[in-house]
Every structure is written in structure tokens, then in C-alpha cells.
Chain A
Amino acid sequence: MGNILNQIGIENYIFLSVVLFCIGIFGVLYRRNAIIVFMSIEIMLNAVNLLFVAFSTYHQDAQGQVFVFFSMAVAAAEVAVGLAILVSIFRNIGSISIDNLKNLKG
């Protein structure tokens, strides 16, 4: 297993997760549906997680993988809060498009 990784080389992992990360960013930038924006953010986080794991094997060191657990837990907590807010918004204005959130400006 390890040798395969070595053959692939760490750069590819970095590229992959950078690409994923950017996809996430673009998702956040271009989609207007709050749920999808959440998902894009999740993609970003997971891209990072992937990279963590890759690095942790690269360095032969478990900390990275431990960190992934932290970040997953945090992500879960975040999304929980986010969804809660989303629900209350949906109750109030009956829509979850972030374009409707423009009352605060100037």
C-alpha cells in the first residue's frame, strides 16, 4: 500500500484536493441555494480532510488522521447550527435562496 502511495507522489494528492477545494469555493460563489452552498463548503472541508490523510501517510504520522476526526466533528456541529438557522429563515420568509438575504446593506 505504502509503496503505491510513494509511486503516486504527494503532489498529485495536493493537486486533487486543491481542485476539490476550488470546486467547493466556486460552488459557494455561484450557487444561490443555501443547502447547496452548505454542501460546497462541506466539499471544501472534505478536500482538506483528504489532504490531511495524504500528508499523514506521507509523514508516516497519525496526527493528521486524528485531526481529520476533529474537523469532521466540527463540520457536523457547524452544519447543525447552519441548518437550524436555515430552518428559522425558511419559517420567516419561506425561501432558502441567499439572494433574499439583502435587507442588511449600505
Chain B
Amino acid sequence: MDTNLALILVLTPLLGFLVNVFFGKSLGKTVSGAIGTVAVAISFVVSLLLFNQITSTGKGIEVTLFDWIQISNLKINLGFLLDQLSVLWLLFVTGIGSLIHLYSISYMHDDENMHKFFAYLNLFVFFMITLVIGSNLLVLFIGWEGVGLCSYLLIGFWHKNQDYNDAAKKAFIMNRIGDLGLLIGMFIIGTMFSTLDYATLKTVIAGATNLNLPLLSLAALCLFIGACGKSAQIPLYTWLPDAMAGPTPVSALIHAATMVTAGIFMVTRLNFVFDLATDVQTVIAVIGAITSLVAATIGLVQNDIKKVLAYSTVSQLGLMFLALGFGAYEVAVFHVITHAFFKACLFLGSGSVIHGLHGEQDMRNMGGLRKAMPITFWTMLISSLAISGVPFFSGFFSKDEILLTAFHHSIPLYVVGSVASIMTAFYMFRLMFLTFFKEFRGTEEQKHHLHESGALITIPLIILAILATFGGLISLPGNSWLNEYLAPLFAKATEGEHHLGTTEYTLMGVAVLGGLLGILIAYIKYFKQDNVPEADENITGLSKVLYNKYYVDEVYDAVFVAPVNSLSKFFRDYIETGLSALVFGLGKIANEIAFQGKKLQTGSIGLYLFVFVLGLCAIVSYIFLAQ
């Protein structure tokens, strides 16, 4: 029964993928879209069933299909583990997934390759599910690389544009760098405990005496590198903003709600490993904090509506890692969920805007859309409030938890985090004001076509907005349903629970004030004085640096890519030719000797006889000498 459920869960999206790949074109756009959506919806239903089961029984389900890879000291089977964590993830992956599928039916309707789009989306969901429910690290790795592949395909969906293809390639390769880390981590763990299976691993580690902690920390570090790749943390974050080249639903699904949270998922999964590697946890926390700050600063000045959202995603992920670093896994998970809601909503909203403006993404050419597309406006407003941490929206609770935890562990990181969230509030409302208020700054022709998007687009927006509003209820400070739900997963007694004392309340207040402050600044700057960001060329000073993302891409190019390429040229032009010349050289030498030798063969009998006699004398005299 469980097996069948699990299989249905996994295979329906795959089925959808196959159907769309092979028959999609002939089925026509709407049908293929419907198929894709239904496939995911089914998985969602199944996940609901599973969720129900888990909550009732309270223990996970293990499903083993067959042996996959045999290695002398560890045997890896293809199996699934459906426990609280994975089911939780399933819920929002498939849930939001189906919403976004729905949205895409209308959004992608003008694209001639719509069936492919849905095929890829389904494939993504399939791999994402595999990633989430895999019962050991290697199955997770299937999903891990699979989603990477899908993001490659979807970023480069409009493959005629080589820049998009570059972005896709970049995403894949940066992920691969992380994946190498993940692999190495697996190797170490496999060597140490000769298993990659979560359950076994947990018990083994729990029971283990005198662990080789340094080695384990190294493993944890490698795993974290993997997480960095997937979840766009410093130093491997630069691919995510570029990934916005893909269609907006993709950005919403893959690069905001689900795939990028895989890193957090993995760390949470292996909490029992990370708990032992405290120094690595510090590293995680620090990197998370820095990432959130850096990304936020960059976000301040971006003018591409999707870029802003992208950097905000990076910064939010940073916050999550901050929480992870402090071992507050459930807090991170909480934020993952709420973030999934409002960020998906924001992206879809921006998509709706872009749709309405026929592909315009630059906020400098927007404005005054409030009247034209009210639903989009309201939903996005709600989400912005949520992300800015305005009280009683979901983001408020989750972000607050994180900052609380940070405060309890290290003040500096807390400060960094708070600053980041203030900035968040600022640039989100900068976005809102620039997009929806004032007069429309686009072309007449665009203005003429301004319209609210269709139901298929607005319905998901509304649903997500609702979730973004009330999502916080699942883990209210004080009595948190989520914490209890997740409790069985964690080795250490969870530490998200803070009895609400005065400090907590003051901190909350500070956070709220910070958020409001950010909004206020944005209001003054972009509503009262209604200035509009400069055109690219006359951006100057610090903002220029920020606008160019601290030139990180350029640096990476100069430090890593360019050397490799020039090395490649060098090898090709010199080493290769040199080596083959070496081999040919031997032949040439022989030929040269032959050429000289030919001169010896003069054809004169006299010489021949002379050499003959010489040889004779040489031999005879040798005989004499030898005597």
C-alpha cells in the first residue's frame, strides 16, 4: 500500500513528463498544460494522504524498491523515506507546484513549445520529489542533480538566445561544483559509517563512541558546499540572479519556492551530522548572514523587477542558513515554508505584471499599474508586507524566530540579519512603489494594452496571498505546531522554543520598527519625492558597485574561467603539438640517418671491397686480441 502510494507519488509527474514529451505537440497546448497540472495535483493529493497518515501514526514510512549500487563496504538501495520532514516538503512542493502549473497554462499560452515547458516542469517535480523522499544520500543525489538538469533546461527554455543558454550553463556548472562537494561528503560519510542511509546513519552516529570528529566536520563542510551550490550561498550564489532568464513561473517554482531550498532540506535531514560539527555550524551561520546582507545590498538598486526578487531570495536563503547554523532547524524550515508562499506569490505577481506589459521587466518603465491590475497589486502588496516582516503576516513570525535565535547566539550576526531584513523591507516597497504607484512610464502602445491577467493567473495569486497571510499560524511563538510535528527528526532537544520574555518582545518590536522604517524610507524616496532610478550610464559611486553586483561575476571570470580557457589554449597549441612532434621526431631521426646512410652507398666497387677488407681485418684482429 505505502509502496504503491509512494510510486504513484513519484511516477505521476514522470508519466506526465513522458506524455507531454511524446504526444504533447499533438495534444495541443491546453490539454498538455492540463495533463501537466493534473499530474502534479495527483501527487499533491497523495502527499495529503501521506501527511494525514503520518500525523495520525506519528512515524515515518520506509519503502525499499531494489538494490541499486553495490560497493564493497556499503550497499545502496533505491528506497524512499516518507517521514515528517519529507512529507512536509512534499506538501508545499506539490502544492505550490500545482498552483504554478495552473498559472503557467495561461502564462505560457503564446509559446509554441508549451508542451515542452510542461514536460520539463513535470520532470522537475519528479526529481524534486525523488530528492525529498529518497531514503539515502545517493537517491537524494539523483534528485539533486535531476533538479539541476531541469533548471538548466528551463533557464535555457528560450534557447535561441545564447545569453539565456549561458545563464543555464552557468547554473548547471556552479551546481556541479557544489555537487562535487556533496559527493566528497558522501564518500567520507560512507567510509566512516559504511552507510549512506539516513535512518541507519542516525542510529550509527547516535551509538558511535569516539567518533573521528575532525573528519566528520570535514564531511559536514563538504556537504555544506553542496548546499551552497544548490541554495545559492556565497560563494556559489551568482547563478541564481542570472537564472531569471527563464520564464517567470520557473523562477517562482524552482528558483524561489522549491529547488533552492534543497540545501536547507539536506542540512535539516542530516541535522545529526551537523550537530556534531559545531565549527562547521558557525561557518554556516556566518556565511548565511553575510549572504543575506550582500544580496540585500545588491537588491537595493536593481531595476529589473525579477532581479530584485532574485536577490531577495538569495538574502532570505541566507537568513535560513543563519538559522541552520544555530541548529534551529525547525525555524529554518518554518521560514522555508512561509518564504515559499510569499516569494512564489511575488514572482507570479511580477510575472503577471510582465505578462501585462508584454515582457517589460525594467521597473523604470512601469508605474501606476495599481488601477490596471488590482488583484496583482493586492496580492503582491500582501506578500511584500509578509516578507518585510509586518506583524501578523506569515513572514513576520518566521523571520522573527530566526532573528531571535540569532540574538540568543551571537549579537553581531543578529545585527547583520536585522539590517538585511530592514533593507529587504526597503527594496520590496521600492519595487511596489515603482511598479504600482504614480503614473505609467512605459510606451503609449503598452499603456493601451494594460489589463489584469486572466483567472488562471489570478487564482493562484490569490491562494498564495492567503497562504502568505496566514501561513505563520503553523508555528506561533509559544505554541508551535510545527516544532512538535518536526520534533522526532532532531537528535538534540530542539531549541526553537523561546519562552516569550521581555527581551523577545523588545526584539520583536525592534524588528517591526526596522521593517516599517524600511518601508517608510521607500515611501519617502519613491512616493513623496517620486524619483525614479537613473538610467544605467549615470549610476555612480557606491550604487554603481552595487548595481554591478560588486563585480563578483567579473572577478570569478578573471580568476577561474579565463585561466582555465587560456590554459586549454596553451595545452592545445603547445603541449599537444609538442608531444606529437616528439613522437614524430623519432621517425624523423631515423629518416635522417637513412638519408645520410644513402650517401655511403656510393656504388663504387672499390669502396665496397675496402669496407669488406676493413671488416675482415677488424674481426681477425679482434680474434688475435681476444686470445
Direct contact, A vs B (beta carbon within 8 Å):
yes
Give the interface centre of B606, B609, B613 by most chain A CB atoms within 10 Å. B606
**B601 part of interface (Cβ distance < 8 Å):** yes
Which residues of A in the span 53-106 have a Cβ within 8 Å of any Cβ on B?
A: 98-99, 101-106
In the assembled complex, the CB of A75 is this many whole angstroms from the nearest CB of chain B, namely 18
In the assembled complex, the CB of A100 is this many whole angstroms from the nearest CB of chain B, namely 10
**B207 part of interface (Cβ distance < 8 Å):** no
Whether B605 contacts A98 by the Cβ 8 Å rule is yes
In the assembled complex, the CB of A34 is this many whole angstroms from the nearest CB of chain B, namely 9
Contacts of B613 in A (CB 8 A): 25, 29
**B603 part of interface (Cβ distance < 8 Å):** yes
Whether B603 contacts A29 by the Cβ 8 Å rule is no
Whether B603 contacts A105 by the Cβ 8 Å rule is yes
Residue of B601, B604, B606 near A106 (CB, 8 A) is B601
Contacts of A32 in B (CB 8 A): 606
| Contact residues on B (Cβ < 8 Å of other chain), bracket | 10 to 19
Whether B601 contacts A29 by the Cβ 8 Å rule is no
Residue of B598, B604, B609 near A102 (CB, 8 A) is B604
For the complex, give the distance between the alpha carbons of A30 and B349 in Å. Answer: 109
Contacts of A106 in B (CB 8 A): 598, 601, 603
Contact with B along A13-26 (1 / 0, CB 8 A): 00000000000010
Give the interface centre of A30, A99, A101, A105 by most chain B CB atoms within 10 Å. A105
For the complex, give the distance between the alpha carbons of A98 and B606 in Å. Answer: 8
Contacts of B26 in A (CB 8 A): none
For the complex, give the distance between the alpha carbons of A101 and B602 in Å. Answer: 10
Whether A28 contacts B609 by the Cβ 8 Å rule is yes
**B610 part of interface (Cβ distance < 8 Å):** yes
Give the interface centre of B602, B603, B605 by most chain A CB atoms within 10 Å. B605
Given contacts A25-B613, A29-B613, A106-B598, contact A101 B606 (CB under 8 A): no
Contacts of A104 in B (CB 8 A): 603
Contact with A along B606-623 (1 / 0, CB 8 A): 100110010000000000
Name the CB-closest residue of B to A37.
B605
Residue of B601, B603, B605, B606 near A103 (CB, 8 A) is B603
For the complex, give the distance between the alpha carbons of A25 and B603 in Å. Answer: 19
Whether B605 contacts A101 by the Cβ 8 Å rule is yes
For the complex, give the distance between the alpha carbons of A103 and B527 in Å. Answer: 105
Whether A102 contacts B603 by the Cβ 8 Å rule is yes
Contact with A along B264-302 (1 / 0, CB 8 A): 000000000000000000000000000000000000000
For the complex, give the distance between the alpha carbons of A9 and B606 in Å. Answer: 36
In the assembled complex, the CB of B187 is this many whole angstroms from the nearest CB of chain A, namely 65
In the assembled complex, the CB of A40 is this many whole angstroms from the nearest CB of chain B, namely 10
Whether B602 contacts A105 by the Cβ 8 Å rule is yes
For the complex, give the distance between the alpha carbons of A25 and B609 in Å. Answer: 9
Offer 5 A-B interface pairs, CB within 8 angstroms, sorted by A: A30-B606, A98-B604, A99-B606, A104-B603, A105-B603
- 8 more contacts with CB within 8 A, not counting A28-B609, A29-B610, A106-B598, are A29-B606, A29-B613, A32-B606, A98-B604, A99-B606, A102-B602, A105-B601, A106-B601
